[in-house]
Structure 1
Amino acid sequence: MLATFVIGLREGLEAALIVGIIAAFLKKNGHRLTAMWLGVGAGVAISIAVGIALKVIESNLPQRQQEMMETVIGGVAVVFVTGMIIWMSKHSRGLKREIESAAQSALGAGTARAMVIMAFLAVLKEGFESAVFMLATFQAATNTGSAIAGAALGIGGAVLLGIGLYTGGVSINLAKFFKGTSAFLILIAAGLVVTALRTAHEAGWLNAGQSRTVDLHWLAPPGSIRSAVFTGVLGIPADPRVIEVLGWFLFVIPMTLIAFWPAAHRPSVIQAARLKLALAGACVAGAIAAFVAVPSATLSTAQLVPVVDGSGSSAGTIRLTGSTLHRSTGADIALESRGSAVVAGVRTRHLTDATATGTGSAPTTLTLEQVTALNGSRVPVGVDPSVNPGPYKAAWHQTDKLDVWTSHGQLYDASRASRTSVTLTGGGLSTARTVAVAPGAKVPAGVTAPTGSWSVAPSYSDEFAAKLNRFATERDSANFWGRFVPIGLLVAAAAFVIVALRSRRRLHTAGELAGSATPHPSRSSAHA
């Protein structure tokens, strides 16, 4: 509630101040205020519509997309409040004078329409910023109803102050007011930075720097007033992560220096330009150091992968070299790619056995002795030699499927299903009987003996999954600290250089203009 109250009061007062000054100028010069109030109403209505539309869109999105949108709204709100604080730090002392000067210029242009548009745009700007900023604050608040009430009270207070300033019944030091509220807004915006970083992680955009730092539950117990202040108002969670702590300090420290550095000790234009160039050099050096120092993530797994048969007993080992599978108890097998596949939530490359088997030359009739040999020297269940002596008609069924899945070039999982069976009819059988050929059994010519089914040992799969999770975390961290952070530092360095060069160019232009305006000494004396 306190956070939204301050936002509503500050943003509302700025808009009320502009509207009040414009109303005073229009009234002083004999113009009616109807058009101005229509412009103000339109600006308020559009701002409210924007806030409602953003909230409706967000609530209708799936959970992950909601986190994405909350991150974007939070980031935009931080940008708005940052620009507001920086602008106010430079203009708060002469804000009223600047607004009056702009109003006088607009009225001097020949029509009151310019001032009406000025009021509309001022209210629309402040209203839009307030809508985005408050929506982000509502999302981070623990009690939405209280946050809405705070916003309403803040805006109402701003309207009353605006009326008082307009009628002359209230006198307020705007410089002190905006400087005092800037301190609170910096803390609120820093909390929004933390909230945006957390929703970015929940949206899957940011997975680096997620290690927990300190436990602040003792400082802000759930349900307590301290928790409402620290978590609800300032946005500080009880379990801050590394990236959130860094984001908080990287926002608060520079913004505090910008807002509260004494005016008497502010650097000159030349000193400020040199400072920005020095900061640009530091950013470049930091980018190079981060790029070089942060190692790339690697996934290291066992070269020999244990496999087990259908009973869970050891069946040797396998290893993969390129597209060839080597098995310790069998011949090498050439594999061919079948595209990608998701196995147990892991995106993999799917490989299969390139060789094919068939039963075109398999015998179509079998004797009882042959059937007994296929069944491991035992008469199959359901076959009575005295009643079903054979011979039998034989229909063969063979499956020999090898599947291999790799992740990041490493063998993730593999299995082989090898089975040969024959369906018997005739020979005294009243119904068809299917007999599975036992591994190692003597088979007739034209039939491929089953090699036995096997799969990767579960212990290896579990170990690989754990390593894969660690690798994903390390890879995201390496990409963030070793790639995105250096890029961000280089962008910041370029911005510092551009701003510094523009400042020096303006100073140089101002010096040339001052020099051209000063009379030359020789001409002055000659004229005298």
Structure 2
Amino acid sequence: MLATFVIALREGLEAALIVGIIAAFLRKNGKSLTAMWAGVLLAVVLSVLVGVGLSLTERALPQASQEAMEATIGLVAVFFVTGMVMWMNNHAHEIKRQLESEAAAAIGQSSALALASMAFLAVLKEGFETSVFLLATFSVAQSAVWAAAGAVLGLILAVAIGWGIYIGGVKLNLGRFFRYTGMFLILVAAGLIISALRSGHEAGWLNIGQDRVFNLSWFMPPGSVRSALMTGVLGIPTDPRVLELSGWGIYVLLVAVLVYWPRQYRPQPVRITQMLLGSSAILAVAALALLSFYPQAQLGLPVNAPLQGGGQAILQAQDEGGYQLHVSADNQAPVDYTLSSADQKMGREQGVDLQEWNLTQQAAVDSLPTMLTLDQVLALYGHRIPVGLSPAQHPGPYNVTWRADCAVEAAVTGNALYNASAHATILMTLSGSGLLSPRTFTVRSAMPEIGCNWQLDPRWQQQVSDALQHLRQAQVRHTFWANQLPLLLGLMAIISLILALRRLSASRRASAVSVAGSRSTLPENK
């Protein structure tokens, strides 16, 4: 409630001051206030519509998009309030003179539209800022009812003070008022920084610096006054993270220095311009360096994957796409498998994107015997007599032909084997030894000569999972250091450059005015 009260009071008072000063000036000059009030009313309606529209849009979005929008609104609100605090801290003492000068210019043009536009734009600016700031504050408030009550009370008090200033019954030191309320709003905006960073993490934008610094639940139990003050007003959660605490501290320190640094110790304007230009260059170079040279995240896995029971599998990427898998299992013949890109399917397991293959290919049977005894047949059939084969009538030996189908399952991620195994289905077709027709049976015992019964060591799966976890952490760091941070540094460099150019332009205009004034005071040559 306190945060929304101060926000509404300060923003509302700023708008009420503008309207009051314009109205008093117009009344003193005998002009109608109708056009001004029309502009004020339109601005208020549009501001309310903006706030309602943003709220309805946020509620209609999916959860992740809601978090993204809350983060965006929070950062926009921080930008608004920071600019407002800095501007009012420097210009509160001259706002009356500036507004009266602009109103006089509008009266000189005899334009009701100009007066309406002045009031409309002034109130619309404050209304937009108030809508965004209050919406961001409502998202972190513990009670929406009390937050709304604080906003309403703040607006009512702002209107009352503005009316008092208009009729001359209230004398307010604007510089001191905006200076002290600015201190409070800086802390509120810093809390919005924390809220925006947390919403950005929940939206999937920021995944770095999420380690919890400390637990404040003992100090701010739910429902306590301290919880209402620290969390509801200042936006500080009970479990601040490293990134959130860093953002809070940097913002408070930077803005407090910019706003409240003693004037007598501030650098000269020329020096400030040089510092801004230098800062812009340094920030731009840092952004380009991070963007260009920060190392890419790579999966750190060995080329050779061990097999259960001994041996190894080697995966080699092919220039034309796909992979060649060479398997050399102990006591089995080496085999090569072609994992072509045309046969691959995409899958996902435990949060890992996989390239998957399910292949069946015929294995070489040249090394298998062409004749089998009855005992050999029984051993291959699991020490059982195959159905349809009578030892008394068909004692063997038998002529045999073979067919071996090798089924391979393989999964690859990041040019490394994630999982792989193979098993063979072997058919033996017997003839001769009194058989009236060939009989085909499935071999039930492993045959090492085929080289198609193997799987990766189960410990390899754990090694791959650990490596993938490290890869994801490295990718998060890369996203922050090589993408998000350079973008932020680039924006800061652009802002510094714009501020420096504005100062240069203002300095040149001031110099031109000074030179013109000096020339006008010189005595004419006679």
Do they fold alike, i.e. is TM over 0.5?
yes
For the pair 1:253 / 2:258, whether they are aligned, the reply is no
Alignment partner, residue 125 of structure 2: 125
Please give the per-residue CA displacement for 1:188-242, whole angstroms capped at 9, x wherever unaligned: 1111111111111111111122222233334333332212222221112222222
Alignment partner, residue 348 of structure 2: 343
Q: What displacement does 1:157 show?
A: 1.3
Contact 1:336 1:354 in 2 (8 A): no
For the pair 1:412 / 2:412, whether they are aligned, the reply is no
Q: Which amino acid aligns with 1:167?
A: I
Residue from 364, 378, 382 that aligns with 2:384: 378
Structure 1 residue matching 2:525: 3-state secondary structure: helix
TM-score, with normalisation over the residues of structure 2? Answer: 0.82
Distance of aligned partners of 1:336 and 1:274 in 2 relative to their CA distance in 1, 3 Å threshold: same
Distance in 1 separating the partners of 2:421 and 2:64: 35
Distance of aligned partners of 1:81 and 1:306 in 2 relative to their CA distance in 1, 3 Å threshold: same
Alignment partner, residue 180 of structure 2: 180
Alignment partner, residue 428 of structure 1: none
Please give the per-residue CA displacement for 1:275-322, whole angstroms capped at 9, x wherever unaligned: 2234335535755786799655332124432444xxxxx464322122
Contact 1:299 1:468 in 2 (8 A): yes
* Structure 1 gap ranges (5+): 309-313, 359-367, 390-395, 424-433, 443-448
* Structure 2 gap ranges (5+): 318-322, 365-373, 395-401, 430-439
Alignment partner, residue 263 of structure 1: 263
Distance of aligned partners of 1:25 and 1:459 in 2 relative to their CA distance in 1, 3 Å threshold: same
Alignment partner, residue 523 of structure 2: 524
Q: What displacement does 1:77 show?
A: 1.1
Contact 2:74 2:192 in 1 (8 A): yes
Q: Which shifted more, 195-204 or 274-283?
A: 274-283
Distance of aligned partners of 1:199 and 1:454 in 2 relative to their CA distance in 1, 3 Å threshold: farther
Within a 5 Å distance, the mapping from 1:273-312 to structure 2 comes to: 273-283=273-283, 287=287, 296-308=296-308
Contact 1:437 1:450 in 2 (8 A): no
Q: What displacement does 1:129 show?
A: 1.1
Distance in 1 separating the partners of 2:428 and 2:178: 89
Contact 2:347 2:356 in 1 (8 A): no
Distance in 1 separating the partners of 2:141 and 2:405: 61
For the pair 1:401 / 2:407, whether they are aligned, the reply is yes
Structure 1 residue matching 2:354: 3-state secondary structure: strand
Structure 2 residue matching 1:526: 3-state secondary structure: coil
Q: What displacement does 1:482 show?
A: 4.4
Alignment partner, residue 318 of structure 1: 313
Distance in 2 separating the partners of 1:82 and 1:398: 75
Distance of aligned partners of 1:517 and 1:36 in 2 relative to their CA distance in 1, 3 Å threshold: closer
Distance in 2 separating the partners of 1:281 and 1:480: 21
Q: Which amino acid aligns with 1:8?
A: A
Distance in 2 separating the partners of 1:38 and 1:405: 69
Q: Which shifted more, 496-505 or 43-52?
A: 496-505
Distance of aligned partners of 1:55 and 1:418 in 2 relative to their CA distance in 1, 3 Å threshold: farther
Q: Which amino acid aligns with 1:409?
A: N
Q: Which amino acid aligns with 1:168?
A: G
Structure 2 residue matching 1:94: 3-state secondary structure: helix
Q: Which amino acid aligns with 2:421?
A: S
Q: What displacement does 1:485 show?
A: 2.4
Distance of aligned partners of 1:525 and 1:49 in 2 relative to their CA distance in 1, 3 Å threshold: closer
Q: Which shifted more, 344-353 or 290-299?
A: 290-299
Q: Which amino acid aligns with 2:525?
A: A
Alignment partner, residue 82 of structure 1: 82
Contact 1:106 1:114 in 2 (8 A): yes
Structure 2 residue matching 1:404: 3-state secondary structure: strand
Within a 5 Å distance, the mapping from 1:76-115 to structure 2 comes to: 76-115=76-115
Structure 1 residue matching 2:418: 3-state secondary structure: strand
CA RMSD after TM alignment = 3.7
Contact 2:48 2:131 in 1 (8 A): yes
Contact 1:336 1:353 in 2 (8 A): no
Alignment partner, residue 8 of structure 2: 8
Contact 2:360 2:406 in 1 (8 A): no
Contact 1:315 1:454 in 2 (8 A): no
Alignment partner, residue 485 of structure 1: 485
Distance in 2 separating the partners of 1:196 and 1:526: 67
Distance in 1 separating the partners of 2:293 and 2:151: 47
Q: What displacement does 1:44 show?
A: 1.8
Distance in 1 separating the partners of 2:498 and 2:234: 34
Distance in 2 separating the partners of 1:422 and 1:76: 75
Q: What displacement does 1:59 show?
A: 1.5
Q: What displacement does 1:172 show?
A: 0.9
How many residues align? The count is 495
Identity of aligned residues (%): 42
Distance of aligned partners of 1:504 and 1:4 in 2 relative to their CA distance in 1, 3 Å threshold: same
